[in-house]
Amino acid sequence: MKQVGWIAGTSAAVLVAAGAITYAVAEDGGSDSAVPSAGSADAGFARDMAVHHQQAVEMSYIVRDRTKNEEVRRLAYDIAQTQANQRGMLLGWLDLWDLPKTTSDAPMTWMGMGDMASGKDGSLMPGMATNTDLKKLNTLSGKQAEILYLQLMTSHHQGGIHMAEGCVQKCTVGVEKNLAQGMVDAQQSEIKLMADMLKARGATARN
Amino acid sequence: MGSAKNSTSAQRKARIEEMRRAEASRERRNRILTIGASVVVVVGLVVGGVVLIQSQSDKDSSASDSKGSGHFVTGKDGVKTWKGTLGRTHVAKTVKYPMEPPVGGDHNQVWMNCNGDVYTKAINNMNAVHSLEHGAVWVTYNSKASDADVKALAEKVKKTPYTLMSPVEDQKDPIMLSAWAHQRTVKSASDPDVAKFFESYVQGKQTPEPGAACTNGLSQ
């Protein structure tokens, strides 16, 4: 009888375990680590950087339509591709965590800087261009478009680096922290490149 | 003594025989139990797996080949969900939608810009539906909505990528919010259901084309 009890106990345990695994897989899509909350740095960075990146993608597409210069078009292609892909990762993580893509909190509240951005004229976060800037970029062509793009993107990268550093400090999800550090490194190097490109065009960054 | 010895030996033999039989039957019973338990576990896993897969494919089943037929079902939270089909074909002709504002169906190939864009004149439904397909929430109002509400909603939309706003005079309530296959009425700009709807549906799970753009489409 002891053996019967043991078998029955084991079967019950196996069934419960199978049920628990099925439930867990069905509930959270197979993630086995703790899921960040909507107010966490992990969620906040994913939400805000997705918005910040989108404008860089948009600006890069605009300048590719406004100039034939190979060097600027290649830089713009690189930025658009990279940031569109990174944006997809950030939004995908929010999907996996079952968290909203938008919030009523001001941008960057998660890093204690909810009062940083004016939010006026489409410039929702530090470094973002205004709608007026983008409209102007759409009217310029050739060298003038290149200069404005390089200036706008330099400011955009500076704001982006600042926000990415917030995630490097506060994020708890390893892959996200690594992505943020990668953004800091890559954008710092691009700022140097853009400074040289501006200089070659007889211009400088805006600030 | 000899006979007693014999009888004891016979008894012992019989007892051993009996014990062997008992053990054999116990083993048989245990084997049956083990097989039975294994069968239960395997059947449980198979049934569980099938149910899981079916429940997932049920969620995914949505027709995408017709213009849109069905009806709204109102949830406990006041959000109306379209039950039926919503077409997703790009068409050049005018589409007549079975609801106003439309929450899906065949549409124009150009999406209305929905990067926090506020339109003060009516926009074409066929372009707006394409924005909903890209994951946008569309805020609409008619002349019964107060100026203060319209202003406050415009401010919120301008700060929220993947939303757009425009007047729709023939809608049934003063302020309505629409996403693909979902719609609700709100009382005012400060109604907490506005924030809730945004959080659920701005690039939400209902989005037929996640990742698609709200820029470089049509603007007013």
Q: Where are the domains of chain B?
A: 1-61, 69-201
CATH number at residue A161: 1.20.1260.10
Residue A114's Cβ-side half-sphere holds a number of Cα atoms within 13 Å equal to 10
**What integer pLDDT is reported at residue A166 of this predicted model?**
98
Judgement on whether residues A196 and A148 belong to the same structural domain of the protein:
yes
Q: Which of A115-124, B41-50, B164-173 has the highest mean pLDDT?
A: B164-173
Judgement on whether residues A69 and A171 belong to the same structural domain of the protein:
yes
Judgement on whether residues A126 and A187 belong to the same structural domain of the protein:
yes
A163 lies in some domain: yes
Judgement on whether residues A26 and A72 belong to the same structural domain of the protein:
no
A39 at the B interface (CB within 8 A)?
no
A148 lies in some domain: yes
Mean pLDDT of B188-201: 98
A61 at the B interface (CB within 8 A)?
yes
**What integer pLDDT is reported at residue A15 of this predicted model?**
62
Residue B13 has pLDDT above 50, yes or no: yes
DSSP label at residue B206: T
Judgement on whether residues A27 and A108 belong to the same structural domain of the protein:
no
Strand-pair category, B69-74 with B163-167:
unpaired
| Helical packing angle, A174-200 and A41-66, nearest 10° | 30
Mean pLDDT of B20-42: 82
Residue B54 has pLDDT above 60, yes or no: no
**What integer pLDDT is reported at residue B42 of this predicted model?**
75
* Residue to test with chain A: of B134, B158, B164, B206, most A Cβ within 10 A: B158
How far apart are the C-alpha atoms of A161 and A180, rounded to whole Å?
8
8 Å CB contact of A54 and B116 = no
A131 lies in some domain: yes
pLDDT bin (cut points 50, 70, 90) of residue B32 is confident
In chain B, % of residues over pLDDT 90: 68
Judgement on whether residues A172 and A78 belong to the same structural domain of the protein:
yes
Judgement on whether residues A86 and A155 belong to the same structural domain of the protein:
yes
**What integer pLDDT is reported at residue A23 of this predicted model?**
56
A205 lies in some domain: no
Domain coverage including residue A16? 1-31
Judgement on whether residues A23 and A91 belong to the same structural domain of the protein:
no
Judgement on whether residues A27 and A48 belong to the same structural domain of the protein:
no
Residue B180 has pLDDT above 90, yes or no: yes
Higher-pLDDT residue of A15 and B140 is: B140
Peptide bond before residue B167 is cis, with ω within 30 degrees of 0: no
* d(CA B116, nearest CA chain A) in Å: 8
pLDDT bin (cut points 50, 70, 90) of residue B58 is very low
Judgement on whether residues A66 and A15 belong to the same structural domain of the protein:
no
Q: Which residues in chain B touch residue A18, judged by CB atoms under 8 angstroms apart?
A: 41, 44-45, 48
**What integer pLDDT is reported at residue B136 of this predicted model?**
98
How far apart are the C-alpha atoms of A10 and A4, rounded to whole Å?
10
Element (H, E) at B82: strand B80-85
Residue of A160, A203, A202 whose CA lies nearest to A185: A160
Judgement on whether residues A16 and A116 belong to the same structural domain of the protein:
no
pTM, two decimals, is 0.75
Judgement on whether residues A64 and A18 belong to the same structural domain of the protein:
no
Length of chain B: 220
In sequence order, what are the residues at sequence separation of 6 or more whose Cβ sits closer than 8 angstroms to the Cβ of residue B135?
Answer: B162, B179, B180, B202, B203, B204, B207, B209, B210, B212, B214
Distances in whole angstroms, Cα of residue B10 to Cα of each of B7, B14, B58, B100? 5, 6, 70, 97
pLDDT bin (cut points 50, 70, 90) of residue B1 is very low
**Which among A7, A101, A124 has the least Cβ separation from residue B34?**
A7
Range with lowest mean pLDDT among A24-33, A163-172, B162-171, B178-187: A24-33
Single-letter code of the amino acid located at B104: G
* Residue to test with chain B: of A25, A59, A83, A102, most B Cβ within 10 A: A102
User: How many domains is chain A partitioned into structurally?
Assistant: 2
Parts of chain A with a pLDDT under 50: 25, 27-32
A65 lies in some domain: yes
A206 lies in some domain: no
Q: Which residues in chain B touch residue A54, judged by CB atoms under 8 angstroms apart?
A: 115, 161, 215
In sequence order, what are the residues at sequence separation of 6 or more whose Cβ sits closer than 8 angstroms to the Cβ of residue B127?
Answer: B107, B108, B110, B111, B112, B217, B218
The CATH class of the B69-201 domain is alpha beta
Single-letter code of the amino acid located at A69: N
What is the rounded average pLDDT for all residues in chain B?
Answer: 88
**What integer pLDDT is reported at residue B62 of this predicted model?**
37
Chain center to CA of A44: 10
